[in-house]
Amino acid sequence: MKLRRARAVARKEFLHVLRDPRSLGMAIAIPMLMLILFGYALTLDVDHVPMVTWDRSGTPASRELISRFAGSRYFTIVGRVLSDEELDRVINTCEAMAALVIPYDFSDRVQSGREASVQLIVDGSDSNRASIVLAYAESVTGTYWQEVALQTLRRAGAPPIRQPLDFRPRVWFNEDLESRNYIVPGLIAVIMMVIAALLTSLTVAREWERGTMEQLISTPVTGPELILGKLIPYFIIGFVDVLLAVLMGEFLFGVPLRGSVALLFGMASIFLAGTLAMGMLISIVAKSQLVASQVAILATFLPAFLLSGFMFPIANMPKVIQAITYVIPARYFITLLKGIYLKGVGLEILGLEALLLIVYAAAMVLLANVRFKKRLS
């Protein structure tokens, strides 16, 4: 392999990208736009849940319970209802996601120390969100019932009761439980995979469609030189995208970067090289820009979004799907990104994921070279 010939191919590809505003826009603007849209729109935080109340008791005790929900950041009281029909309407029209119904005898039971019950109606259309809302409501009511029980014992003249368990929860790595802190690193991997593969999926196919591939074949340029030359410009553009994404994560979204910056960009370079080679392989096989772009999106976006652990925990997937995720490179890169970003760990913990990422990149480059040699023959 002669680097001079590869450099000539790279220069040619650079000129093509610079002279084509659409390609340049796809390479720079689209990743940034996707990161902004997904970073702000995609959130798993459940807070400020709209709630209505039906206070049949109308007593200080019932108002105290309602104030506990209103004072929590997880609930927002948007109104009150006075009938079953009105309650049905606000839930069906999504004006409220939850309804708190307090019975007539609530205050009497609380005052006498008897068991009192309240009803919480939750819209279960979104089962995951509904489960979180129920957990929040149980926490609010549990604190309230505990204080009521202590007050009842004090009124009865019982001695102070010490808590048998001092439970002090502490969250590591994402103390505020902000979903953005682990969504943004995952988004970097998903966007990189889609854009990188989409860019290079058009390179060789474009040469075939324009009839210039025969000219390249007739030159002394070998297959590896041609592939390397075509990869270099997009690798540089992709690296710029990674840099911009990291800067946006740091200064726009406020995602903490606790680990090694050098390790982050090193792993990103390996992942980028493998994904670019994957797009090149698709381009070599397809020979059509339309087919290549469609296959690239299908082979990158859906697996990276659904099967990488970015949105859905892999452990909760069926065993067959879990086995498929092992061939999704974004799975390992997302693990690396989250470990570097949030935990600040290095290769002593993430060594296996880094090794598998290197194997993926080497395999894609090798397959692209082998397949292109077959096309030249």
pTM of the model: 0.80
Give the CA diameter of the chain: 100
pLDDT in tens, 83-122: 989 999 999 998 999 999 999 988 888 877 778 889 999 9
% pLDDT > 90, the chain: 37
Number of other residues whose CB lies within 10 A of the CB of residue 154? 12
User: In angstroms, rounded to a whole number, what is the distance separating the alpha carbons of residues 351 and 278?
Assistant: 23
Instruction: Quote the CATH superfamily of domain 49-155.
Output: abc type-2 transporter like domain (3.40.1710.10)
What average pLDDT does range 294-315 have in this prediction? 87
Instruction: Decide if pLDDT at 155 tops 80.
Output: no
Higher pLDDT, 110 or 278: 278
What sections of the chain are H helices per DSSP?
3-19, 21-41, 60-71, 84-92, 106-112, 127-155, 180-200, 203-210, 213-218, 223-251, 261-286, 289-306, 319-325, 329-338, 347-376
Q: What is the domain partition of the chain in residue ranges?
A: 3-43+178-376, 49-155
d(CA 233, CA 10): 6
10 Å Cβ neighbour count for 298?
A: 11
222-231 as b/e, with b when 16 or more CB fall inside 10 Å? bbebbbbbbb
Mean pLDDT, the chain, whole residue set: 85
DSSP 8-class letter at 75:
E
For residue 374, pLDDT over 60 is answered with: no
Asked if 191 and 31 count as a contact pair (C-beta separation under 8 A), the reply is yes
Tell me which residue of 195, 201, 191 sits closest to 293, measured CA to CA. 201
Helical spans, DSSP H, in 156-258: 180-200, 203-210, 213-218, 223-251
CA distance 371 to 362: 14
Nearest CA among 84, 66, 63 for reference residue 75: 66
pLDDT grade, residue 206 (50/70/90)?
confident
Distance CA 228, CA 299 (A): 22
Question: What is the bridge-based pairing of β-strands 119-122 and 98-102?
Answer: antiparallel
Considering only residues 212 and 55, tell me which one the structure prediction assigns the higher pLDDT: 55
Helix (H, G, I), strand (E, B) or coil at 169: coil
CA distance 140 to 5: 69
Higher pLDDT, 371 or 20: 371
* Nearest-angstrom CA–CA distance, 282 and 16: 20
- In the prediction, which pLDDT does 160 show? 62
Question: Is a pLDDT exceeding 80 seen at residue 375?
Answer: no
- Taking CA 63 as the corner, what is the angle to CA 60 and CA 64, rounded to the nearest 5 degrees? 85
Extract the tokens encoding 13.
Answer: 């590809």
